[in-house]
Structure 1
């Protein structure tokens, strides 16, 4: 029998070339079909799909876990593009072997315009058996023609298998990270996890390490197994979840494989380079003691905000070096090497660390020139990774790492990856490890001039979080003004530092006996921003200032405050924080009503009309109500960027590149900023909890302040 489906109806007709009932139904739709044999060169049949898969047979047949729609596109090339082209209908047929014979089912569709897509959504009542090869083809009916079946001539029948059975649960094992109570090495050390399945039709495995992305790996080999490589980036209990999937997309029950990851192995070699002045050797925290050249002087300065207490200064001559006179790293295996450095000169090529190999270095970490500008550099084999911008007199933490498992290298500057990870071909370097120079054909060269401290070498991958921690420079609190009192117009700094002197139009609003918020007579504008008082500014002349600069605006710094605007519709820009020089502000944070946003403005020089970098974040004005906004500005000189935080979260922060910081000599201003006419942009509102730091606060530290 043939199934015929129309709009809201289905009936059956007898099989044949075309039954009278089918011919009548098609005629009613404007489709005339000759009673003759099919026309060999008639209608085109294209776009055959079984579900979402292209038509395939044999090894290319589709496997499905739900009954798929059968699809085709039909058109008559003889009528292509004709506006009066007759409509076309599709006749589908599918079949499968059953009980020594063949079971067949058919469907003839309604007619559509030439070039239309047709589909047969197989109903459950067809009762297609599971795990059986089902074949189908289609032909077109139009304008007195019956096309050949899509399987005729050079064509082939489409095939699919209806598979509803899920694979068995996979089995996971690992020699590197066994599923037991043992703590195994470790952070930065690759491990292999072998996955197998008791089912023989698995084609891929889906997996994730708890909290990570969903990934897939194909099943391969005669046993349909797979290996998963994983680099643990944190210590603790880890979980690998795996599911097996067959060709039809059926998924097994997941299996959870637990393993324990130990902390990363300590450096195989480390020199703090904090030895006593005049020492001719460098003590090793790990690895061999190093010999020190006459051009190396201990007791040099160290980067602030770190655990480094002092460094070694190298003079850039042939005597400025430190070496253990032995190799400390296998350069054709996984390793990481880094140090704190401050170049005194950034010309030419200068080496922080290297290891000898024949008449050249196996690797170098340092700086070189690119397009006429200095860049940090990690060279390994014939590949060189570059990025960042070294500056004379500025501290930086640089680290290069090579991962032998992936065959790639990466360069980090100040805890952040720079440039792209690149594939490299390492060379074996079994010569001496060098600090401050690199081997050349005619002797050592590319000598470092400046300070180097805390050199560390690992025989594993230093993971991203670890590199960020190594390069962290904790911001140091320079001043905290709670603005609770101001006897004699002076509001003290909490640790005895510079006080803020209140100008005319500025006062401390105290809340020793705040009114009850539930009292209808309580004025919400009297609620404190923080604690028992805040600074109240009249918007005309009100401000507070320190006598001298608080932050070095030429370096990394952070300043924060809580502020509430008194007006619902401010009529002019108003500055809450600034610090500047003779002609303008090095930085200022102001509210701009025209854009309803807080702005961080960084000027490029202490000159009239100097260029400015502006970062803006949208927020509605307060109108004297609420708890105000927590504003913070962070200048990270090491990354050449500035960030404005509003209410303390990275999601509400804006960042811009900034390379032109300059050291201002004016005091910290609260409530006013420089304009072309002198002091102006006076704030009308309340300010509280002003803090200033040397160094760049992290996003988490800013959020913690708020």
Structure 2
């Protein structure tokens, strides 16, 4: 078993003490001399040249400046004190042969240091470049010196000082020629980088905004190939610097080119064909034959360019196929589309491609590990799962196999889900299928529900493109400016359902004044929140409501409002907005005075005892003064998240995952919500600028709510 330096020093001391014991009788002075043990020979593994390990020959380091050499020095224990109390000096020696063939020597003695620490020597500036320099060291305790580090089985250390930077690298590419417009988003290409300097060991490279990396040649000075995947259109530049074995860096070489829009899909079926059609026309690729279980003219997801889709009945006749392969599954490809499952209780296939008695890949849904359904992309022994399919809910699903990385990736509603998996696909030269997958005994795992806009790509679909494919634009569902009322109702600006006012709810108009011309005028202090009017509620019975739902609470939606509480210390919680059913609210926004916060409360069912999910933002009741507080509620069905915004901003505490959204059939309520199955939590204060959207607004759009103008939803 290897022994430590302390173990060896103790053994040495024991041996010396033993001999000293025998010597004391005859010569006491000899015993005193034996008590001082010489320092230990510095070990090669404890020596460093400019921070690099001691080495010789082809392993010797090259350095970019005259280096600092270091050595850990040890002095063994004595009778009087442990080794840590001993002090030692390093005696360094360096030598080389100069250009005239004469040997040059330099020496240095370090300061005294405690045993076990490192001594160093900054070598002089006259060390010549491109010359092998050798050095060694020994330890001295003031009485005796150790052996040199090069003796007794040790070794000298060598280095070469390199004072010249490598030449700038060369860059060429047939895929991305300089100043060309041939690069396309989603398609890999290669750069060849080389150098005229034969000591280059690496090339550092970067693109505008990244990525960054380092590539090393097989031998010094050799070329490297750098692969690149364009992910955005516009000008792009590859910048490269060469690094030699001493760490010196060359000047930069820039290779500029332009990236253009990605190629269209290899095959694309909108599936928006007229009802009764026998096949689906293709935007690109061949038409897809439709089985008799396919009905065109079905609904389409809101907020997309689709007008209709195809409905598949889940039987052996519910499929579409071009009767030919759409893509080479051994190479990079992607497949995706909009789907709305009618059932999620079994394996269901959105798209596949036939192989020999099995599918080469499948995209669809399947039961998860806990029996809950998940979206799935299977290819080449890999399966990526994620997201939560919901019966009757639209989702965009897309599977990607990148042959460059060997990874399979799954996107749901434009967001990457699950963990990419290594795949080894086999050839699947059979027909592409929509709505079913090949099995040993025939087709199986049939889709039941709607399918639309199926696309197959023979390239990478980059993350931004996947997000665009799965995006749904929010649509204004209602805007109540609360400036006026007629016949007990305040109109929606574009002719939608008005807000019916109850007793205790009034539209307050701005008070006319003549302060501009009357010096004795006292300006009013109680202005409406926004514009010339707002809704005032008495906190007892006052509320306003539509006679039907304003947003689909089972799908993505956004609701915004401006509110000012009449009291600085309300006596009970007060709801400003809600929408739900007969017994519970699908959502409500309320102020809870005991917590000094606004809360967004969502429930999992139209049941007074349904489980609640609550997120909150801290706030102080304004007590009838100020410009009010701007609140916004966002439910994003694509990410299954709820968010509560206050004055345009949210937080981690105001965000939560929520899977229990349901379709409420009650009208939008302003100023009240359900409490134990009955109406309550009436609000006392003012409300203005109620906005409702089908779809989830983003941060920048939320910032525009509540100022009396339409936000940009783009």
Shorter-chain TM-score: which interval?
Answer: 0.7 to 0.9
Report the counterpart of residue 702 of structure 2 in structure 1: 702
Task: Identify the residue that residue 274 of structure 1 maps to in structure 2.
Answer: 272
| Partner of residue 131, structure 2 | 132
* C-alpha contact (below 8 Å) 1:525/1:624 kept by paired residues: no
Contact residue 42 and residue 71 of structure 2 kept, 8 A: no
The change in CA–CA distance for 1:610 and 1:348 in structure 2 (over 3 A counts) is closer
Residues 649-658 or 404-413, more deviating = 649-658
Output one character per residue of 1:255-301: Cα deviation in whole Å (capped at 9) or x when no partner: 22111222111112111112222221221111112222122221222
Alpha-carbon distance in structure 2 between the residues aligned to 1:245 and 1:323: 55
Q: CA distance change for structure 1 residues 138 and 538 in 2, over 3 Å: closer, same or farther? A: farther
Per-residue deviation at 1:348? Answer: 2.5
Residues 295-345 of structure 1 deviation map (CA, whole Å, 9 limit, x = unaligned): 222122222221122122222222111111111211111111111111222
2:82, 2:34 → 1: CA distance? 25
Cα deviations by residue, 1:218-242 (Å, 9 ceiling, x for unpaired): 2334642222111111222222222
Aligned length: 668
Q: What is the alpha-carbon distance in structure 2 between the residues aligned to residue 58 and residue 547 of structure 1?
A: 89
Please give the residue correspondences for 1:455-466 in structure 2 after superposition, counting only pairs within 5 Å: 455-466=454-465
CA contact (8 A) 1:511 1:533 kept: no
Distance, in Å, in 1 between the alignment partners of 2:102 and 2:564 is 85
Secondary structure of 1:639 counterpart: coil
Match of 2:402 in 1: 403
Once the two structures are superposed, residues 146-175 of structure 1 have per-residue CA deviations (whole angstroms, 9 ceiling, x without a partner) of 233333333333333333433222221111
SS of equivalent to 1:469: helix
The 1:316/1:663 distance shift into structure 2, 3 A limit, reads closer
- Corresponding residue to 2:305 among 304, 307, 311: 307
1:195 to 188, 193, 196: 193
Deviation at 1:178, TM superposition (A): 0.9
Q: Which residue in the other structure is 1:250 paired with?
A: 248
> Contact (CA 8 Å) 1:366, 1:378: kept in 2 or not?
yes
Stretches of structure 1 lacking an aligned partner (at least 5 in a row) = 1-32
Question: How many Å separate the matches in 2 of 1:623 and 1:282?
Answer: 62
Distance (Å, rounded) in 1 between the aligned partners of 2:622 and 2:118: 59
The yes-or-no answer on 1:550 pairing with 2:550 is yes
Moved more, 146-155 or 696-705: 696-705
User: How far apart, in 2, do the equivalents of 1:595 and 1:79 lie?
Assistant: 71
| Distance verdict in 2 for CA 1:102–1:563, change over 3 Å | farther
Q: Aligned pair in 2 of structure 1 residues 45, 564: CA closer, same or farther (>3 Å)?
A: farther
Match in the other structure for 2:478? 479
Q: Which residue of 1 aligns with 2:105?
A: 104
Give the TM-score, by structure 1 length. 0.84
The equivalences for 1:200-239 within 5 A come to: 200-221=198-219, 223-239=221-237
Within a 5 Å distance, the mapping from 1:668-683 to structure 2 comes to 668-675=668-675
Question: Relative to 1, partners in 2 of residues 1:417 and 1:515: Cα closer, same or farther, differing over 3 Å?
Answer: farther
Q: 1:295 to 1:542 in 2, by over 3 A?
A: closer
**2 CA distance for matches of 1:139 and 1:597?**
72
Q: How far did residue 689 of structure 1 move?
A: 2.5
Partners of 1:345 and 1:512 lie apart in 2 by: 61
1:453-486 deviations in Å (ceiling 9; x for gaps): 1111111111111111111122221111223334
Q: Say if 2:584 and 2:677, in contact at 8 Å, map to a contact too.
A: no
Distance 2:529 2:48 in 1: 66
**Cα deviations across residues 391-444 of structure 1 (Å, max 9, x unaligned)?**
222211111111222222211111111111222111111111111111122222
**CA RMSD, Structure 1 to Structure 2 (Å):** 3.6
Distance 2:348 2:582 in 1: 38
The separation in 2 between residues aligned to 1:514 and 1:243, in whole angstroms, is 74
Q: Does the alignment pair 1:616 with 2:621? A: no
Q: Contact 2:44–2:154 at 8 Å: present in 1 too?
A: no
Q: Deviations over 1:190-246 (max 9, x none)?
A: 111111223222222222211224322223346422221111112222222222222
TM-score (norm 2): 0.83
SS of structure 2 residue aligned to 1:587: strand
Q: Which moved more, 1:138-147 or 1:421-430?
A: 138-147
1:436: which partner in 2? 435
Contact 1:356 1:432 in 2 (8 A): yes
- Alpha-carbon distance between aligned partners in 2 of 1:46 and 1:554, rounded to the nearest angstrom: 68
Q: 1:523 to 1:566 in 2, by over 3 A?
A: farther
| TM-aligned CA distance change 1:163 to 1:530, over 3 Å | farther
For 2:674 and 2:696, locate their aligned partners in 1 and report how far apart those are by CA, in whole Å: 24
Confirm or deny: 8 A CA contact 1:408 1:421 kept in the other structure. yes
Equivalent residue number for residue 340 of structure 2: 342
Unmatched tracts of structure 2, length 5 or more: 1-31, 706-710
**CA deviation after TM superposition for structure 1 residue 548, in Å:** 3.5
Superimposed CA distance per residue, residues 669-693 of structure 1 (whole angstroms, 9 cap, x where no aligned partner):
3344444596555556654322111
Counterpart Cα distance in 1 of 2:448 and 2:84 = 85
2:656 maps to 1:656: yes
Whether the 8 Å contact between 1:196 and 1:225 is mirrored in structure 2 is yes
CA distance in 2, matches of 1:614, 1:674: 15
C-alpha distance in 2 between matches for 1:459 and 1:430 = 14
Query: Distance between the aligned counterparts of 2:155 and 2:625, measured in 1?
Result: 76
Contact 2:643 2:650 in 1 (8 A): no
Q: 1:576: Cα distance to partner?
A: 3.6
Q: Is the partner of 2:492 in helix, strand or coil?
A: coil
Q: Distance in 2 between matches of 1:568 and 1:60?
A: 77
8 Å Cα contact 1:296-1:313 kept in structure 2: yes
The SS at the match of 1:167 is coil
When residues 134 and 84 of structure 1 are mapped into structure 2, their CA distance, relative to the original with a 3 A threshold, is closer
Distance across 1 between alignment mates of 2:254 and 2:510: 59
Q: Hey, what does 1:184 align to over in structure 2?
A: 182
Matches within 5 A, 1:551-700: 551-563=551-563, 574-592=574-592, 597-618=597-618, 629-648=629-648, 654-675=654-675, 686-700=686-700
Q: Could you tell me which residue of structure 1 aligns to residue 74 of structure 2?
A: 75
Measured after TM superposition, the shift of residue 513 of structure 1 is: 7.3
Greater shift, 603-612 or 290-299, is seen at: 603-612
